[in-house]
């Protein structure tokens, strides 16, 4: 992560870097749900003093990625499937509102860029799960952004970040990737024809399917993440809440 620009002197540069790195480590299961650590430990690990570390940790705590116990250390927040479900439902509400607005508008939707991505024939489609996941995020955020409400887009972005850790798992099988391409293409087609009700219906079904798929895979992944020898029942239990 050591970049060649050690200090362009951005505001809060270190805290921001640390924030991103910790978040990435959570997404990449380097930091597992239930893992415990201290501020000093993280300071050593990320090569900064406690001050920017604390900034980053508290930011992640307010965003519900971490938990802090008063004078008793930090921990990665356990998986909470109920919470993921609710975040998916919130996504649905926001995206359906965006689509409704897009279909009501007389002006062009400005979804040309998305259409270019998702109307590619099967031969040109990506099969790299990580890449498709990013494209998928761009698609759904693009819908909300195109609706023109910055605050809705901001909230939707936060939701996207929060579910990313499980959403990724939806793109581990080629069948799901293919389905994503097909459904996105179809949804864009319906929007371009201003068939709001059908677009909304398709979109809802599309997100619900992803939600169900992800839930199915997540538990399995959690058990795989640790070396079997190291894993105790307590550790597994700490990864899941509810």
Task: Provide long-range contacts, Cβ within 8 A and 24+ apart, for 191-200.
Answer: 191/99, 191/102, 191/103, 191/109, 191/111, 192/109, 192/111, 192/115, 194/103, 195/103, 196/99, 196/100, 196/103, 196/104, 199/99, 199/103, 200/96, 200/99, 200/100
Q: Which is nearer to a second copy, 50 or 131 (CB)?
A: 50
- Contact pick of 27, 37, 48, 59 for a second copy (by CB under 8 A): 59
Residue 94 near which of DNA, a second copy, none (CB within 5-8 Å, type-dependent): a second copy
Is residue 240 a contact point for a second copy (CB under 8 A)? Answer: no
Using CB under 8 A as the binding rule, the residues of this chain from 118 to 177 that contact a second copy are 149-152, 155, 159
Residue span binding DNA (CB under 7 A) among the ranges 36-44, 115-123, 158-166, 210-218: 36-44
211/131 Cα distance (integer angstroms): 19
Are 109 and 146 spatial neighbours (Cβ–Cβ below 8 Å)?
yes
Work out how close the CB of 93 gets to a second copy at its nearest, in angstroms, rounded to a whole number: 4
Look at phi and psi of residue 225 and say left if phi exceeds 0, alpha if psi is from -120 to 50, else beta. Answer: alpha
Alpha carbons within 13 A on the beta-carbon side of 150? 0
Work out how close the CB of 109 gets to a second copy at its nearest, in angstroms, rounded to a whole number: 18
Residue 75's beta-bridge partner residues?
Answer: 36, 67
Work out how close the CB of 12 gets to DNA at its nearest, in angstroms, rounded to a whole number: 4
Residue 46 near which of DNA, a second copy, none (CB within 5-8 Å, type-dependent): none
Work out how close the CB of 158 gets to a second copy at its nearest, in angstroms, rounded to a whole number: 8
Is residue 20 a contact point for a second copy (CB under 8 A)? Answer: no
Residue 21 near which of DNA, a second copy, none (CB within 5-8 Å, type-dependent): none
Q: Which residues sit at the interface with DNA, rule CB under 7 A?
A: 7, 9, 11-15, 37-41, 48-52, 54-55, 68-74
């Amino acid at each position: 992560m050591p970049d060649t620009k050690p200090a362009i002197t951005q505001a809060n540069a270190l805290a921001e870097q640390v924030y991103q790195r910790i978040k990435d480590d959570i997404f990449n299961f380097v930091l597992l749900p239930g893992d415990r650590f201290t501020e000093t430990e993280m300071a050593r690990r990320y090569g900064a003093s406690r001050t920017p570390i604390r900034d980053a940790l508290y930011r992640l705590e307010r965003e519900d990625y971490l938990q802090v116990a008063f004078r008793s250390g930090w921990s990665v927040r356990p998986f909470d499937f109920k919470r993921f479900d609710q975040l998916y439902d919130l996504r649905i509400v926001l995206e359906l509102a965006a689509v409704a607005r897009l279909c009501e508008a007389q002006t062009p939707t400005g979804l040309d860029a998305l259409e270019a991505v998702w109307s590619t024939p099967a031969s040109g489609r990506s099969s790299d799960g990580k890449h498709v996941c990013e494209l998928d995020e761009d698609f759904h955020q693009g819908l909300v952004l195109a609706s023109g409400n910055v605050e809705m887009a901001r909230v939707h972005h936060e939701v996207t970040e929060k579910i990313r850790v499980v959403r990724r798992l939806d793109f581990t099988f080629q069948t799901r990737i293919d389905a994503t391409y097909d459904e996105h293409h179809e949804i864009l087609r319906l929007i371009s024809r201003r068939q709001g009700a059908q677009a909304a219906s398709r979109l809802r079904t599309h997100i619900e399917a992803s939600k169900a798929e992800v839930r199915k895979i997540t538990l399995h992944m959690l058990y795989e993440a640790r070396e079997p020898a190291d894993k105790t029942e307590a550790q597994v239990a700490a990864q899941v809440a509810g």
